[in-house]
Amino acid sequence: MKTDAKVKPGDKLKYKNGLEFEVDTVEDIGEAVVCDICNGDYTESEKSGGFLFGSYAYCPECAKNRIANIQSHNEERFIKARCPEGKPFSKWILEDIRQGNNLIITGNF
Q: Does 62 bind Zn ion (CB under 5 A)?
A: yes
Residues 22-61 that bind Zn ion (CB under 5 A): 35, 37-38, 40, 59
53 with 80: CB under 8 angstroms?
yes
Secondary structure class of 67 (helix, strand, coil): helix
Least distance from C-beta 52 to Zn ion, angstroms? 13
List the strands of the sheet with 79-82, edge to edge: 56-58, 51-53, 79-82
| Under rule CB under 5 A, residue 64 binds Zn ion | no
- Kindly state the smallest distance separating residue 10's Cβ from Zn ion, in Å: 34
- CB-based contact 86:48 (threshold 8 Å): yes
- Look at residue 99 and give its three-state secondary structure: coil
Q: Which CB sits closer to Zn ion, 57 or 102?
A: 57
- Rounded to an integer, what distance in angstroms lies between the CA atom of residue 61 and that of residue 106? 28
Number of residues that bind Zn ion (CB under 5 A): 6
Query: Which residue, 7 or 38, is less far from Zn ion as judged by CB?
Result: 38
Would you tell me which residues interact with Zn ion (CB under 5 A)?
Answer: 35, 37-38, 40, 59, 62
